[in-house]
Amino acid sequence: MPSAWAMASEKLQVVVTCTAPVNIAVIKYWGKRDEALILPINSSLSVTLHQDQLRTTTTAAISKDFTEDRIWLNGREEAVGQPRLQACLREIRRLARKRRSMEGEGALPLSLSYKVHVASVNNFPTAAGLASSAAGYACLAYTLAQVYGVEGDLSEVARQGSGSACRSLYGGFVEWQMGEQADGKDSIAQQVAPEWHWPELRILVLVVSAEKKQTGSTVGMQTSVETSALLKFRAESVVPARMKEMMRCIKERDFPGFAQLTMKDSNQFHATCLDTFPPISYLNDTSRRIIQLVHCFNTHHGQTKVAYTFDAGPNAVIFTLDDTVAEFVAAVRHSFPPSANGDKFLKGLQVTPAPLSDELKAALTTEPSPGSVQYIIATQVGPGPQVLDDPHVHLLGPDGLPQWAA
């Protein structure tokens, strides 16, 4: 007797499940020169975080039985008509058609007229400033490419979902070249160094608030482009040299150089937000306390051992090396004592607890602020999107409907 899955799945022409990573920019993208194609005013550079800790999982299925395109995000059905989703679907189908016409009729064993069902889940809070849209759209682009048999660079597809998503298509260290062409064909992401290039590098996500952010990046950067002279100066006169310098730091594994530039670029991005009119502020008191903590820590050691960076939200992302993780986590625990669930304060990679020296304790000048950091996710640099071969992981059941929620 064939299983229910095997029988019912005959109705599904193709079903694929993939995962994609979160990325965190060390040279920030902020501002578009083309809103529709999502073309940036400056290049940017990011680090891909490991999917063992942070990932989006997406299943896409096509079937002649589906009557419309449908999408479920974290267990809830969402409007498939939203422009960015439509742009991704249109783009991938266009690439599939292009491939079919180049390789001759019949190169793809499926009909492009079939409707698609998509289900996607994140294993981390959505819209908490943890780049969920980047992982989400990268995963969508990658999964649809598998379904439609599209090969090659998918920057164009992912980018039209969310600009930063094109950087989540690759592992390791990734550059998004702004490009010059009006059609955006040269605005693509590419790997600068693979995930194994800098094995000592560690990343700590300090979750300050899991609330939905106030001003979304899309609207925020639109207002910045319209009103901030500092942003224009940054894009034209600061970022080009920073991109080169950041690539050197990564290539040479120069941690102090990498760390200082990461902090400066985060600070400049938030300065452009404040220079926007009306001003935007993504950082809160806890974010500023974390900034102070990092600087106290580095000053105490007489060298730059830790860096912070913040996106469009109050959560901090910390870069450090493996030999410093335990001591820095102890410093965070000291400055932000867990209010409850002290045992669940640290998630992700194992960190052997380290004592805090009296000298370092004395150097941490900020008053302890209990409960302000909810938890820490310890992770490292990771690979790009992956195809999951196990049919049991599909988020869509044999009937093409979600079979489990996040």
Nearer to ligand DP6, 19 or 132 (CB): 132
With CB under 6 A as the contact rule, the residue among 51, 133, 143, 386 that binds ligand DP6 is: 133
Q: How many residues bind ligand DP6 (CB under 6 A)?
A: 14
Cβ(192)–Cβ(172) under 8 Å?
A: yes
Three-state secondary structure call for residue 35: coil
Nearer to ligand DP6, 40 or 398 (CB): 40
What residues does 19 pair with on adjacent strands? 57, 386
**Which residues lie below 8 Å from residue 49, measured CB to CB, with a gap of 6+?**
21, 22, 23, 24, 203, 205, 379, 380, 381, 382
Binding flag, residue 217, ligand DP6 (CB under 6 A): yes
Binding flag, residue 162, ligand DP6 (CB under 6 A): yes
Would you call the peptide bond into 278 cis, given omega within 30 degrees of 0 as the criterion? Answer: yes
* Strands across the sheet containing 189-193: 23-27, 44-48, 173-176, 189-193
Binding flag, residue 160, ligand DP6 (CB under 6 A): no
Nearer to ligand DP6, 29 or 336 (CB): 29
Neighbours of 370 (CB within 10 A): 11
Three-state secondary structure call for residue 344: helix
Cβ(287)–Cβ(50) under 8 Å?
A: no
Residue 359: both structure tokens together: 């000298």
Binding flag, residue 25, ligand DP6 (CB under 6 A): yes
| x/- track of binding to ligand DP6 for residues 165-194 (CB under 6 A) | ------------------------------
Residue 125: both structure tokens together: 């809070």
Binding flag, residue 29, ligand DP6 (CB under 6 A): yes
How many angstroms separate the CA atoms of 50 and 47, rounded? 10
Q: Which residue is nearest to ligand DP6 (CB)?
A: 163
Q: In the bound complex, what is the minimum distance in angstroms from residue 216's beta carbon to ligand DP6?
A: 8
Neighbours of 296 (CB within 10 A): 17
Separation of CA 355 from chain center: 33
| x/- track of binding to ligand DP6 for residues 35-74 (CB under 6 A) | ---x-----x------------------------------
Binding flag, residue 135, ligand DP6 (CB under 6 A): no
Binding flag, residue 228, ligand DP6 (CB under 6 A): no
With CB under 6 A as the contact rule, the residue among 21, 31, 136, 163 that binds ligand DP6 is: 163
Binding flag, residue 235, ligand DP6 (CB under 6 A): no
Cβ(54)–Cβ(124) under 8 Å?
A: yes
Binding flag, residue 309, ligand DP6 (CB under 6 A): no
Q: In the bound complex, what is the minimum distance in angstroms from residue 156's beta carbon to ligand DP6?
A: 13
With CB under 6 A as the contact rule, the residue among 87, 312, 351, 377 that binds ligand DP6 is: 312
Judged by the rule CB under 6 A, the positions of this chain that interact with ligand DP6 are 25, 28-30, 38, 44, 133, 162-164, 217-218, 311-312
